[in-house]
Structure 1
Amino acid sequence: MYKRRMLLFLQILVTFAVLKNIHCNGTLCNGNWADNDEVCCGGEIYQKFQNSKEMACCTRSGKTELYPMGEKICCGEQLIPVQPNQSLACCNKELIDINIYSCCGNKDFGRKYKSGKCCVDWDNKTVGIHEGLKGRKKCCSTEVYNKDTERCIYGPLNKHKIIVRKTSMRKCGTKQFNSDTSLCCEQNEMVIPKPPVKSGGKQPYWICWNDKAYDANLYYLDEKTSRVILIGLASCDNVEYNPSAQMCCGNKLFPRNPGKNSTCCGNGIWDLDDTSETCCNGTFIPTSNHGCCNEVPFKKGHDVECCARELYDKTSHLCCKSQSSYMTVQPKLSADHTACCKSPETNQMKTFNNYTEECVNGQVREKVSNNVVTPRQISEINPPKKPARCEFCRNRLDAAHCKKANVYEFFVYDQRESENGTIFNAIILQPFRRSGKILTGEKIKIRTRNQCECFKPKRSFYLFTNRKIKSLKQNRYNIRFTSSDVFIRKTEHSLVVKCLTQHHLGTNKSRRRHS
C-alpha cells in the first residue's frame, strides 16, 4: 500500500514538472493557461493585442475590465483616459507625472519620490533612480555614481557600499580622451572640454546633449522634442513650463488649480469631481442627456444604449448578462422580446417575452397567467351571450382611417372580459408616427365599451387614432375607445402599409398643389 502511494505521488510530481516546463512563460487563469500573447481578466482569457492595441486588465470595485494601454491607465480602482502628450504612471494607487516623480519599488506598494538620489525600497534594495539621471548613472545604495569613472564596492567590514574612482582615460569612438577634463559626445564621436567647476556646491555630472555639455543634476533631455530642459520643468509645444503650476493639454497651457482633481480632455481641462459632464474621446459631453460608450458619445433617451462598451439598438437587440459581471449584445428573435435566457449546458443565449414566457434552466416556456380567462372558463361561469358589435374591430381600412394622426403597434400579453367591455394589458412595439418621443416598450392598460372578439392574448395589432399616447398613459384606467378609433390585426399588415403609403402620397400631392 505504501509503495503504491509513493508511486502515485511521484507520478503527480512528474506531471506537475512537465506542465510547469510547458507553461513556464504562461499565466494560470482560472484553471487554464494564458500564453504571453494573451491576458487573463476576470478569470477569462483574451487576446493581448486587439485592433493593434495592447490590452490590460483593471479591477474596479471588485469587477474586472479590459482596457487599451496607452489610451487609459488603471490606478487606484480608477480607469483614467491618457492623452498622447501625457507621461503618467501609477504608484501605490496614486497617479503621478513621471516628468516630475518616480516610483520607488513595486507600482502597487511603492512610493513616489522627487530626488537626485537613488531610491531604496523597504527591503533595503536599490530599485530606482530619477528619470533625469538615467543613462550613464547607476545607484550605489542611495548615492548616484558614473559607471564609466566609478565603481560601487563594499567598504570596511562589508557593512556599507562606497564609491571609488576608476582610471580617467576613456575612448570616444577611435579617440582617447581624459574624462576628468573632457567629455565624449557619443552620437558624433566628438570630444568637448568640460566647463569649469565653480568652487563649493554639488559636484556636477557632465553629459553631452546636442553636442553641448550639461550638468545632469540640473538638466534632462526631453526625448520627444530633443530639447534640454531644466529639471522640474517640462515642454509643451516647445515652450518650457512648470508642471506643478500648469497643465499641458493638446499643446496648450492651462493654470493648475491645486484644489481640484483635474486631467486633460482633448484641448481642455477636465474636472474629475464635476459629475455634470464627462470626457468622451477628447470631447466634453453633458452627463444629463448624453453617455459615452467606448469613447463614442451618444444621446440618452433614444433607442440607442451602451452595453459592454458597445452601442446597440433597443428595438432590435437586447443587453444580456452572459456571466456574473459580463454583458453582451444579443439580437432579438422577435420584436416583442424583452429578456434573455441562457442555457447552462451550451451557454447559448435566446431572447423571449418575459410577460408571456419564462426562462427555466435555460429553456423558454409559456408562462401561466391567472389573469387570462379561457373561453371554457367563461362559459362555465356565465351562459354564453351574443357579443355586441365591436364597431372599431375591422378587416379593412378606408381613407378616413388612413388620415389618423397616430398609428401604434401593440402586443397584448394579458386580457379579461367584463360586463361592460374588454380590458387588456399591452406593450407598445412600434410607434408609426411622424414626430414626437419614441415610446417603444411602454406598457399600457386599455378598456373598450364592448366585448370584442378581435382581441386575443399573445397577439399583435395596430391602433389608428387621433389620441396621443400621453393622454392614454395618464388616463389608462378610464379611457374607453369609440367608433372613431380603429383596431386591425397584425395579420392584415399589408393593409396598414398600403394605407400609410397612400396617405403619404396624397399629402405630398396636396402640398404641391398649394405650392
Structure 2
Amino acid sequence: MTCTKQLLTLFLCATFCIHHGWTWTASCGSATYETNDAVCCGNTLYNRTSGGNGCCGTVFFNTSSHSCVHCGGKYHITAPKYRFYCCGQTQLYNGTSHMCCGGILKTNDRNHWCCGTQSYNFSSHSCCYGKILSGGEYTHRCCGDGTSKDATQTCCANQARPGGTGYRCCGNGTFLTTNETCCKNQVFPGGNDHACCENQVYKRSTHSCCQDKIKTGGGFWCCGPDAYNPNNQSCCGGRVVRGGRSHACCGSKAYNTTKQSCCGSQTYHKKKEICCDGRVNDKPKRAECCRTQAYNSKTHKCCSGTVTLGGKGMACCGTGQTYNKTTHDCCYGVVLDSIGVDNYRCCYDKAYDSKTQKCCNGQVFRAGPDEACCYYNLYNLDTQNCCDYKITQGGRNYTCCRGKIQPGGTGYACCEDQAYFPQTQGCCWRQVYNKTTHICKGYPTYGAVKRD
C-alpha cells in the first residue's frame, strides 16, 4: 500500500504509512513502529540493531553477511553473500563450485565456460554457434563448420585457408599483404606499396592510376586520363598546365594566387589592375567599378553606368550627368540653377520658387498664397472654385458637388450634387434633411426622411 502527503513524493510502505515531519512510521500487525528503528517481517517486529536489517520472505536476516535468493518458489538465506544463485527455476547452487549452463548445473572447473547446456575448456576448445569444437578461444576463431588457427590460418569463404598473421582473403584463397596484392580476386606480386588499377597492379611510389590506366609518377593526382604532379602542375579545364600548389585555375589557365587574381576567364595583376564585371582594367587611385569600367572615386562619379567628372560635392543627375549640389539642382534628370536653397522645388524638369510660384502639372505660374492649381491652370481661392478640373466662379464659401457649385464652404460636405453642413444637417438617400426635425429611416444610402 502507498501513502500520500501533500507536495511529497509517494513512498511504498509495508502496510500503511504516515509522514510525521522527517520520521516515517508504519504498521506491523496491530503495532505501529518507526521504520528507522525496526523492520517488519511476517507481521513480526525486529530491531535493526539486533544483527540484521532486511526480510527474506517472512524471515529477518543480516543483509551485510547473507543474501536472499528466491528459487523454486522459496526464499533461501545463503552465506557467504553473493555466492549463491538460481539455475533454471528450482536449483539453488554455489557459484564458486558450479555453473549454470542453459538451466543445467555443471561443475565449475577452472578455465570452463558454457556453450548452450554444456561446459567446455576455453583454453583448448571454442564454442561456435552452440557447438563445442577443438581449438582454444584465444588462439582460434569460428570458421564455417569448424575453426581456424590464427597463427597459421585465415578464414576465407567459411573455409580455413593456409596463412595466419599478415594474411588476408583474396577470393577463396589468401595472400600475404607485405609481399602481394589482391585485385579482383587475383593475387599479384607486390605488397603494401602497391595498389590495383582495374585488373593490374602498380607501385604507388612510382606510378598512378587514372581512369583505369597506369601512368608514370608516384603520388600524382589525376586530371582526366592524365596524371600530374601537384607540386608544380595544376589541372584546369581537364588539361594539365604549369603551376603547383600556390596556383589556381582561371578558365583553362593556372595563375599564382599570391600575385594574381581571376576575372572571368582572364588573369590580372592584383596590384596594377582591377576586375570590373568580368573585364580587366588598369587600376587607378581610389579605384571603384562602374559596370565594366574602373574609375577614381575622388575625381569621378558613376552615374547610371556611365563614368563622368565629379568629385567632392558633386552628385549624379540622370544618365551621365553630374552637378554641384551647392549651386545647382537636379529635376527629373535635368541640371538647373538653384533659385534658393529653402524655397527651391522641382516642377518636372523645371525649377520654381515655391514661395512666389506654383507648379500645376508641369506648368510654372507666378502665384500668391490665395491661388492654387486646378489641373493645368491657376485659380483664385477667394473668387473661384476648381470643380471637376474646371475653373468656375465661386470662392471659399462654395463647394463643388458632382460638377455643380453649391453654397457652403469650409466644413460642408456633399450629398450627391447638394452641399450640406454635417453638424446640423444629414444626407439620406440623396436628400438633405434637418437633424433637429427629421430622421433617416433605414440606411443613409437608401433610407427615407421621416419627421422626428
TM-score (norm 1): 0.25
**Which of the two has greater strand per residue?**
2
Query: Whose relative contact order is higher, 1 or 2, with alpha carbons under 8 Å and at least 6 apart?
Result: 1
More helix by share: 1
- When Rg is computed on C-alpha atoms for both structures, the one with the higher figure is 2
Q: TM-score, normalised by structure 2?
A: 0.28
